């Protein structure tokens, strides 16, 4: 089983996090991944392991993975800002189709067919500064995707290089 926890109060220092079997994120390698990102001053999530009990049933060791939000930026000593991702809806539709034996062209599910959206959309939409930040960042990402802006005009190239080096080191390609 996997669980998504949302709380008004901090639990283990987090407001939103997932509880999942450690194998979901490649066992201890995900913890190492986040520790390496932290060591390289690249934004990382809290990630740890707990012994989970549910209604007096011992579920064993579970991984605890923080979700993105403004608190992640604060803890990583970054300024307030919208955190963006490529909307994954088409990717998950492609994966479900594949699971059901329908092998369609994967290209339609890639980032080239998606759009940039903010994590914590509800928080972003209530804050004019975050809305403006999201719009600016989404526009820059779109310009990058179309080849109108160079990587160095949109991203911190040094941090991006460190991020990719860590991904290659631990096989953490799911974060791409």
Over the stretch 63-83, which tens digit does the pLDDT of each residue have?
A: 999 999 888 999 999 999 999
Tens-digit pLDDT string for the chain (176 aa): 899 999 888 888 888 999 999 998 888 989 999 999 999 999 999 999 999 999 999 999 999 999 998 889 999 999 999 999 888 777 667 667 777 777 666 555 566 778 899 988 989 999 999 999 999 999 999 999 899 999 999 999 999 999 999 999 988 777 77
Residue 176: Cβ within 10 Å count: 9
Q: Which residues contact 108 (CB under 8 A, 6 or more apart)?
A: 90, 94
Q: Please give the Cα distance from 64 to 46 (Å, whole number).
A: 8
Q: What pLDDT does residue 106 have? A: 59
Q: What pLDDT does residue 107 have? A: 59
| This prediction's pTM | 0.83
């Amino acid at each position: 089983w996997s669980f998504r926890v949302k709380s008004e109060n901090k639990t283990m220092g987090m407001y939103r996090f997932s509880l999942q079997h450690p194998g979901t994120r490649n066992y201890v390698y995900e913890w190492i991944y986040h520790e390496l990102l932290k060591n390289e001053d690249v934004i990382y999530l809290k990630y740890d392991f707990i012994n989970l009990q549910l209604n007096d049933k011992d579920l064993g060791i579970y991984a605890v993975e923080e979700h993105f939000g403004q608190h992640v930026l604060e803890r990583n000593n970054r300024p307030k800002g919208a955190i963006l991702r490529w909307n994954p809806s088409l990717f998950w539709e492609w994966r479900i189709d594949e699971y059901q034996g329908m092998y369609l062209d994967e290209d339609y599910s890639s980032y080239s067919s998606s759009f940039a959206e903010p994590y914590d959309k509800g928080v972003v939409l209530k804050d004019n500064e975050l809305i403006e930040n999201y719009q600016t960042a989404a526009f820059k990402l779109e310009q990058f995707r179309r080849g109108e802006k160079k990587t160095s005009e949109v991203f911190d190239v040094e941090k991006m290089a460190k991020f990719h080096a860590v991904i290659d080191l631990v096989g953490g390609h799911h974060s791409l």
